[in-house]
């Protein structure tokens, strides 16, 4: 395990599965031991949970105080997967103690916190990353490559949404995601942040927004007390029109309570020469439209993801064409693989000593757009995105 990256993770909830699985997977997908993560310490303020998950995923130690990872000499990388209101304090302490930091999205509760974090991240000289998982997904990385190569020509329009339906259930209790003070925003911050990041990744910086928000379920049962109800103070749905700095137009929508949408991370990017379309509900496919096709052949064609696409060579596709990168495409990849790809990207950045996107500046830009969208919705007007100089 020479040169392995020694990790301390904070938060043993939902994300511990994906993060632990990815770090363990990565070790088996490469012969270079510098790519390997060593799972040293898992922290949760629920000690029983920390112990249970540590045993399940092979973390060496379980703790209940997060400073045992931000301040410990045997940790290189602090991996933060707690509710959003804790990200600021933990990140600042980790940088102050010379750690690389991987923080879950959204980076912070608002752009002011995010700016402080991004400034300190840059000043620290350490590697800083925000886990916008979908950027590394082969179909999406391929889409970005096609756009960068100019194959769509000038981009005219982006339409993106992240829709789910699980929070349409009234019996789900009032947990931290329904509380603005703990989450920053509702569906917009929780899942809309991914679409905002993809809009920036695929098309460019957002200049201004005009938005509305909706709350479908205003009260939810208090945890541990099924009778009493508490107030929800975040959005169940947000829809925003956007103007990009490069002149393209677009829309970003997010909701976690739209019946029928199971997990639809969706976008279409339309340029003067063609278009690209993607949905996570068919995540192994990228749809490509070429405006130069003859009229009788005009239409989207579906490309199945395989080892020829960025990142996918790591996975389940045997190399039949050797150096040509050809091989079986149809075995498919899934959600856990997306996290493994993100973690490979982070491991490579740490190994190279160079912070690459998505980093804390990307996290900051996303928070700036979220703030502009919320201001626009509450004041019912177009709002310029205020960008921090950094």
Q: Which residues bind ligand NAD (CB under 6 A)?
A: 10-15, 43-46, 49, 66, 81-84, 86, 104-105, 131, 133, 190
Cβ distance to ligand NAD smaller for residue 86 or 127: 86
Cβ distance to ligand NAD smaller for residue 161 or 307: 161
Distance, CA of 46 to chain centre: 25
Contact 385, 369 (CB under 8 A): yes
Cβ distance to ligand NAD smaller for residue 23 or 155: 23
Question: Please, what is the minimum distance in Å from the beta carbon of residue 133 to ligand NAD?
Answer: 4
Question: Please, what is the minimum distance in Å from the beta carbon of residue 293 to ligand NAD?
Answer: 35
Question: Please, what is the minimum distance in Å from the beta carbon of residue 131 to ligand NAD?
Answer: 4
Helix (H) or strand (E) holding 257: none
* Phi, psi angles (nearest 5°) of residue 264: -100, 95
Question: Please, what is the minimum distance in Å from the beta carbon of residue 8 to ligand NAD?
Answer: 11
Question: Please, what is the minimum distance in Å from the beta carbon of residue 189 to ligand NAD?
Answer: 7
For residue 101 the two structure tokens come to: 């930091």
Question: Please, what is the minimum distance in Å from the beta carbon of residue 83 to ligand NAD?
Answer: 5
CA–CA dist 222, 202 (Å, integer)? 40
Cβ distance to ligand NAD smaller for residue 270 or 333: 333
> Is the link from the previous residue into 324 a cis peptide, with omega within 30 of 0?
no
Strand, coil or helix: 102: strand
CB contact set of 179 (below 8 Å; sequence gap of 6+): 232, 233, 234
Question: Please, what is the minimum distance in Å from the beta carbon of residue 191 to ligand NAD?
Answer: 8
Question: Please, what is the minimum distance in Å from the beta carbon of residue 353 to ligand NAD?
Answer: 24
Residue nearest to ligand NAD (CB): 13
Cβ distance to ligand NAD smaller for residue 189 or 274: 189
Cβ distance to ligand NAD smaller for residue 76 or 190: 190
For residue 52 the two structure tokens come to: 């249970």
Question: Please, what is the minimum distance in Å from the beta carbon of residue 103 to ligand NAD?
Answer: 8
Nearest CA to 190 out of 256, 116, 279 is that of: 256
Cβ distance to ligand NAD smaller for residue 289 or 360: 360
Contact 385, 111 (CB under 8 A): no
Angle at 191 between CA 221 and CA 84, to 5 degrees: 70
CA–CA dist 235, 314 (Å, integer)? 38
> How many C-alpha atoms does 7 have within 13 Å on its Cβ side?
31
Cβ distance to ligand NAD smaller for residue 86 or 206: 86
CA–CA dist 20, 210 (Å, integer)? 39
Cβ distance to ligand NAD smaller for residue 45 or 388: 45
Cβ distance to ligand NAD smaller for residue 66 or 289: 66
CB contact set of 264 (below 8 Å; sequence gap of 6+): 161, 162, 163, 164, 279, 280, 281
With 0-12 CB in 10 A as exposed, 13-18 as middle and 19+ as buried, what is 348?
Answer: middle
CA–CA dist 194, 134 (Å, integer)? 7
CA–CA dist 256, 215 (Å, integer)? 11
Question: Please, what is the minimum distance in Å from the beta carbon of residue 342 to ligand NAD?
Answer: 8
């Amino acid at each position: 395990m020479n040169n392995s990256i020694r990790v301390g993770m904070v938060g043993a909830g939902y994300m511990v599965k994906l993060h632990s699985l990815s770090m363990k997977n990565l070790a088996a997908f490469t012969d270079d031991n510098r790519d390997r993560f060593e799972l040293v310490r898992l922290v949760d303020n629920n000690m029983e949970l920390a112990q249970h998950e540590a045993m399940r995923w092979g973390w060496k130690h379980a703790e209940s105080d997060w400073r045992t990872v931000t301040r410990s000499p045997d940790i290189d990388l602090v991996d933060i997967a707690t509710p959003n209101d804790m990200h600021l304090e933990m990140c600042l302490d980790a940088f102050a103690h010379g750690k690389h930091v991987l923080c879950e999205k959204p980076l912070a509760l608002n752009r002011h916190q995010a700016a402080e974090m991004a400034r300190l991240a840059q000043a620290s000289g350490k590697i800083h990353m925000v886990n916008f998982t979908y950027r590394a997904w082969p179909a999406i990385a391929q889409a970005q490559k096609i756009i960068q190569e100019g194959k769509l020509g000038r981009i005219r329009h982006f339409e993106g949404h992240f829709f789910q339906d699980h929070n349409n259930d009234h019996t789900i209790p009032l947990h931290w995601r329904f509380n603005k003070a703990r989450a920053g925003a509702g569906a917009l911050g929780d899942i809309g942040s991914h679409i905002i990041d993809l809009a920036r990744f695929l098309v460019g910086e957002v200049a201004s927004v005009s938005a509305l928000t909706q709350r479908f379920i205003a009260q939810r049962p208090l945890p541990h007390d099924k009778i009493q109800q508490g107030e929800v103070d975040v959005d169940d749905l947000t829809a925003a029109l956007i103007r990009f700095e490069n002149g393209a137009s677009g829309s970003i929508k997010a909701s976690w309570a739209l019946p029928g949408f199971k997990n639809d991370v969706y976008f279409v990017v339309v340029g003067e020469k063609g278009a690209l379309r993607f949905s996570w509900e068919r995540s192994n496919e990228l749809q490509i439209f070429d405006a130069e096709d003859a009229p009788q052949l005009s239409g989207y064609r579906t490309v199945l993801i395989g080892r020829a696409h960025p990142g996918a060579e790591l996975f389940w596709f045997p190399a039949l064409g050797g150096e040509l990168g050809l091989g079986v495409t149809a075995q498919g990849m899934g959600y856990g693989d997306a996290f493994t790809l993100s973690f490979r990207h982070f491991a490579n950045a740490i190994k190279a000593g160079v912070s690459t996107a998505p980093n804390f500046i990307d996290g900051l830009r996303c928070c700036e757009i979220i703030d502009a969208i919320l201001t626009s919705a509450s004041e019912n007007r177009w709002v310029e995105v205020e960008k921090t100089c950094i």
